[in-house]
């Protein structure tokens, strides 16, 4: 396929762009020093994306409301955000290096300015005595018992001025334009829309006013020809997401409708906005603005960007429209432009996974693109745990300043045991460094556990990622990398034959010892997936044991793809406690029968998955399972709520009494156990014991069962350094 539209030139305001590919704002958390000055980490990260051919880069959010919104600062006046507010020249030096670094590659760069976080900021400052703020009286998103008080008009006007000053600083530092952070339920969205702005008096009771004032202030400070992109959710889509009852109960029945969103865009255009970047949803249905792996490609582009484009066409408004959300497949991105749904496509995670996406598409090397798997484990989860942006499938993302792939000056013979993601990453990296690599795999294919996950339709992103691994390995085989399939390796096969052995042979699973297990049909989850999820014809009621990600994915898949009655039992208070908000929320939303991978309500489960959280299975008899379920267990389906990190003390959290349980008996024709596994490290320790090679390592699940992020990063670390 030719990708002509993607590589057409265009412009936003007076800013000329070499193609229609824009990098989405992805928070540069912890990429600046504690004063807010961008560090080399951030500069090199953007330069890499400029080298990769992106037409327009946009930074992650840069809040400006210091001293007003307490959630953007940490203790001692430090912050994990980059800063450009105020009159500091110290910080500007980092920004100048950044803009100067990307421009030689032909990329333009805008900065994303943010009014702050408001109710979606961390509740921690309130727990330490600070008063939190929002547009009106609102609850904190993470701990609803923590209130946010309304900002005064005076304070809001001050934020407008701060945004103007920051824009002037950005222009001075070499930025080509401003991108405004008006979406997703952050403070700018809180001030401009119905769910959170219930002000009855003053200038800002008009919900469009704050946006308009900010745009005018920026144009006043930077000149009418200095381009501004405004980012907003065309609708928060709360009613559509949850239905009338929950919408009224949880959200007071208020939201920005699409019609209001269109009117707001017209008003903003009249105030001077040059382009609009539109998505859907907010924190309370975070799976829309952060569409996880489970969604189809471009899940709401037609309905959101396409609708705005139609509105502009009908009203002769020349402002540009930018489409965003799961556009990582080049064919899909090109189609969006060809269909006239938008003028530009914006890529966030696809450019974290592969900064060279634009160059590879342009040079017809699309098969070489390393695709995002939509897990959010490297990018978002890292923020939550105090890190910076990184990526599960690209170990160099966020480490451009430190990790380099250089040829080894001492060529070694390297054996890698197991061709899961860790083994493949180790093999590719070691081969590229010049080592002589043999990859042993006990089955007839590469991918390990990921091949099993990819059997579920909701894991289509993983299948695409595996296609890329296969392609890369095939190319490297022609360059001399050896892969031996159907080869189970014991110590005698490799002892004394290699300089380096890397064990990446995965995990092992056990069946839990539950009374009466022999009286019921059962399977371990991975074994079940391996056999293509075959369910005997006479099985109608399926019990999935295990409330983690795999358990929920299998439960939903059986209900969705096979139309079975599914019950899930999980020990923890919450389902998928280890997962990222967007992914967890979407899965709960789909399991409760409110949503679907297509995003359409009509495709939702007619019969939701029945869930017993804070419960355990204690015995089986023929066709039955006996559970002990905690009487005070919470509603398992609360997609509008996040789980706060373990290190934050929530004084309002109620502990469950483990002895307050009830006995429940349910029907079960088939039981699937998705209860995790243990590292298969026997080979590693045996090789170590017998000194089978000079260097012996263990990576991925064989060392510590985890996620793709750990597997890829541990394998890359070793292979880059042997
Ligand atoms: C790790 C991460 C950080 C993000 N940070 C921001 C941000 O700072 N500002 C913003 O407006 N959107 C942010 N987003 C949303 C993205 O800009 C983008 O809209 C979203 O990822 C969907 O696009 P994609 O499917 O191309 O990734 C972030 C997304 C991710 C994954
Ligand atoms: S961490 Fe996962 S979701 Fe985030 S960019 Fe990488 S592959 Fe995509």
Q: What is the pLDDT of residues 332-366, one digit of tens each?
A: 999 999 999 999 999 999 999 999 999 999 999 99
| 655 Cα–ligand 1 center, Å | 34
| pLDDT above 90 for 692 | yes
CA dihedral of residues 512, 515, 521, 524 (deg, nearest 10): 0
The predicted structure's pLDDT at residue 127? 85
Q: How confident is the model at residue 319 (pLDDT cuts 50, 70, 90)?
A: very high
Section 637-656 average pLDDT? 88
Check if CATH label 3.20.20.70 holds for domain 5-376: yes
CATH class of 517-673: alpha beta
Distance of alpha carbon 613 from alpha carbon 555, whole angstroms: 14
The two tokens of residue 707 are 């996620």
Which of the ligands is closest to the CA of residue 373? 2
Is 86:60 a contact under the CB 8 Å cutoff?
A: no
Residue from 372, 394, 460 whose mutation best tests the ligand 2 pocket (most atoms within 8 A of CB): 372
pLDDT above 80 for 600: yes
Q: pLDDT tens, 494-504? A: 999 999 999 99
Atom of ligand 1 nearest to the CA of 24: 17
Distance, in Å, from the CA atom of 110 to the CA atom of 56, rounded to the nearest integer, reads 7
Measured in degrees and rounded to the nearest 5, phi and psi for residue 612 equal -115, 100
pLDDT band at 2 (very low <50, low <70, confident <90, very high): confident
Same fold, 5-376 and 413-509+678-719: no
The residues spanned by each domain of the chain are: 5-376, 413-509+678-719, 517-673
Task: Compute, in angstroms, the gap from residue 582 CA to the centroid of ligand 2.
Answer: 12
Instruction: Mention the CATH class of domain 413-509+678-719.
Output: alpha beta
3 state DSSP class of 167: helix
Main-chain dihedrals φ then ψ at residue 472, nearest 5 degrees: -65, -40
| d(CA 285, ligand 1 centre) in Å | 14
Query: What integer pLDDT is reported at residue 305 of this predicted model?
Result: 98
**What confidence category does residue 263 fall into, taking pLDDT thresholds of 50, 70 and 90?**
very high
At 491-547, the pLDDT tens digits run 999 999 999 999 999 999 988 999 999 999 999 999 999 999 999 999 999 999 999
In this structure, the residues whose C-beta lies within 6 A of any atom of ligand 1 are 24-27, 60-61, 112, 181, 183, 231, 279, 289-291, 324-327, 347-350, 379-380, 389
pTM: 0.97
**pLDDT at residue number 76:** 81
- Greatest Cα pair distance, the chain, in angstroms, is 81
pLDDT in tens, 71-80: 999 888 889 9
372 CB within 6 A, ligand 2: yes
- Cα distance between residue 445 and residue 432, in whole Å: 21
In the block, residue with structure tokens 């590229």 = 432
Q: What three-state secondary structure class fits 122? A: coil
Assess whether pLDDT exceeds 90 at residue 223. yes
How far is the C-alpha of 114 from the C-alpha of 275, rounded, in Å? 17
Tokens of 328: 């990582």
Give the model's confidence band at 648: pLDDT under 50 very low, under 70 low, under 90 confident, else very high: confident
Query: At residue 89, does pLDDT exceed 90?
Result: no
The answer to whether the CB of 468 falls within 8 A of the CB of 371 is: yes
Helices (H), 522-621: 525-530, 549-562, 581-591
Q: Residue 658 CB: number of other CB atoms within 10 A?
A: 9
Rounded to the nearest whole angstrom, what is the distance from the C-alpha of residue 44 to the centroid of ligand 1?
19
In this structure, the strands spanning 615-621 and 624-630 are antiparallel
**Could you tell me the distance, in angstroms and rounded to a whole number, from the CA of residue 292 to the centre of ligand 2?**
9
Over residues 695-706, the pLDDT tens digits come to: 999 999 999 998
pLDDT of res. 366:
95
What average pLDDT does the chain have?
Answer: 96
In this predicted structure, the answer to whether residue 1 has a pLDDT above a threshold of 80 is no
Tell me the per-residue pLDDT of 377-406, one tens digit each, with 9 for 90 and over. 999 998 888 899 999 999 999 999 999 999
> How many angstroms does the Cα of residue 347 sit away from the middle of ligand 1?
9
Q: What atom in ligand 2 is closest to the CA of residue 381?
A: 1
Encode pLDDT of 399-442 as tens digits. 999 999 999 999 999 999 999 999 999 999 999 999 999 999 99
Q: Is the CB of 377 under 6 A from ligand 2?
A: yes
**Ligand sitting nearest the alpha carbon of 283:** 1
CA gap 340, 307 in Å, rounded: 10
3-state class (DSSP) for residue 147 = strand
Could you tell me if 228 and 215 are in contact, meaning their C-beta atoms sit under 8 angstroms apart? yes
* Contact call for residues 6 and 333 (beta carbons, < 8 A): yes
């Amino acid at each position: 396929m030719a990708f002509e539209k993607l590589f057409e030139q265009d412009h936003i305001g007076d800013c000329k762009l070499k193609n229609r590919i824009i990098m989405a704002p992805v928070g540069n958390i912890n990429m600046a020093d504690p004063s807010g000055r961008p560090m080399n980490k951030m500069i090199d990260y953007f330069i890499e994306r400029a080298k990769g051919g992106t037409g327009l880069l946009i930074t992650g959010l840069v809040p400006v409301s210091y001293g007003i919104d307490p959630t953007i600062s940490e203790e001692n006046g430090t912050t994990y955000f980059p800063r450009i507010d105020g009159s500091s020249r110290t910080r500007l030096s980092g920004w100048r290096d950044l803009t100067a670094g990307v421009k030689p590659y032909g990329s333009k760069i805008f900065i994303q300015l943010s009014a702050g976080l408001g109710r979606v900021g961390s509740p921690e400052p309130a727990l330490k005595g600070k008063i939190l703020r929002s547009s009106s009286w609102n609850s904190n998103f993470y701990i609803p018992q923590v209130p946010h008080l309304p900002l005064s008009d005076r304070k809001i006007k001050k934020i407008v001025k701060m945004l103007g000053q920051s824009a002037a600083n950005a222009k001075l530092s070499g930025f080509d334009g401003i991108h405004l952070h008006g979406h997703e339920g952050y403070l700018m969205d809180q001030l401009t829309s119905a769910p959170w702005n219930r002000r009855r008096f003053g200038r800002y009771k008009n919900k469009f006013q704050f946006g308009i004032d900010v745009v005018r202030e920026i144009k006043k400070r930077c000149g009418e020809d200095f381009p501004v992109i405004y980012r907003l959710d065309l609708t928060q889509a709360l009613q559509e997401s949850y239905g009338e009852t929950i919408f009224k109960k949880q959200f007071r029945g208020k939201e920005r409708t699409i019609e209001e969103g269109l009117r707001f865009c017209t008003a903003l255009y009249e105030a001077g906005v040059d382009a609009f970047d539109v998505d859907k949803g907010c924190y309370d249905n975070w799976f829309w603005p952060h569409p996880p792996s489970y969604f189809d490609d471009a899940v709401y582009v037609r309905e959101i960007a396409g609708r705005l484009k139609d509105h502009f066409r009908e009203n002769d408004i020349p402002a540009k429209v930018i489409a965003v959300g799961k556009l990582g497949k080049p064919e899909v991105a090109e189609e969006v432009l060809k269909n006239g749904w938008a003028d530009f496509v914006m890529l966030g995670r696809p450019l974290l996974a592969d900064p060279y996406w634009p160059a590879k598409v342009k040079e017809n090397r699309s098969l070489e693109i390393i695709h995002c798997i939509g897990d959010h484990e490297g990018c978002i989860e890292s923020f939550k745990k105090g890190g910076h942006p990184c990526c599960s499938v690209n170990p160099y993302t966020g480490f451009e300043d430190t990790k380099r792939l250089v040829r080894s000056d001492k060529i070694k013979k390297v054996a890698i045991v197991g061709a899961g993601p860790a083994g493949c990453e180790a093999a590719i990296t070691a081969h590229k460094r010049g080592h002589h690599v043999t990859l042993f795999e006990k089955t007839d294919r590469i991918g390990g556990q990921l091949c099993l996950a990819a059997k579920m339709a909701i894991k289509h992103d993983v299948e695409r990622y595996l296609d890329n691994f296969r392609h890369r390995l095939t190319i490297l085989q022609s360059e001399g990398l050896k892969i031996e399939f159907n080869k189970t390796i014991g110590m005698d096969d490799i002892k004394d034959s290699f300089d380096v052995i890397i064990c990446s042979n995965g995990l092992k699973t056990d069946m839990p010892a539950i009374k009466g297990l022999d009286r019921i049909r059962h399977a371990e989850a991975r074994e079940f997936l391996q056999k293509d999820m075959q369910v005997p014809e006479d099985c109608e009621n399926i019990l999935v044991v295990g409330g983690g990600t795999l358990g929920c994915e299998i439960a939903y898949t059986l209900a969705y793809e096979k139309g079975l009655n599914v019950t899930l039992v999980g020990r923890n208070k919450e389902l998928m406690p280890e997962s990222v908000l967007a992914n967890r929320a979407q899965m709960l939303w789909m399991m409760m029968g409110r949503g679907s991978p297509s995003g359409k309500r009509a495709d939702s489960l007619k019969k939701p998955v029945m869930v017993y959280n804070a419960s355990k299975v204690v015995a089986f008899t023929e066709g039955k399972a006996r559970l002990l379920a905690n009487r005070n267990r919470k509603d398992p389906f609360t997609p509008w709520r996040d789980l706060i990190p373990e290190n934050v003390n929530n004084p309002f959290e109620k502990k469950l009494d483990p002895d307050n349980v009830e006995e429940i008996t349910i029907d079960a024709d088939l039981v699937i156990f998705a209860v995790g596994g243990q590292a298969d490290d026997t080979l590693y320790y045996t090789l170590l014991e017998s000194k089978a090679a000079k260097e012996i390592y263990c990576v991925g699940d064989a060392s510590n069962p985890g996620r793709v992020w750990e597997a890829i990063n541990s394998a890359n670390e070793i292979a880059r350094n042997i």
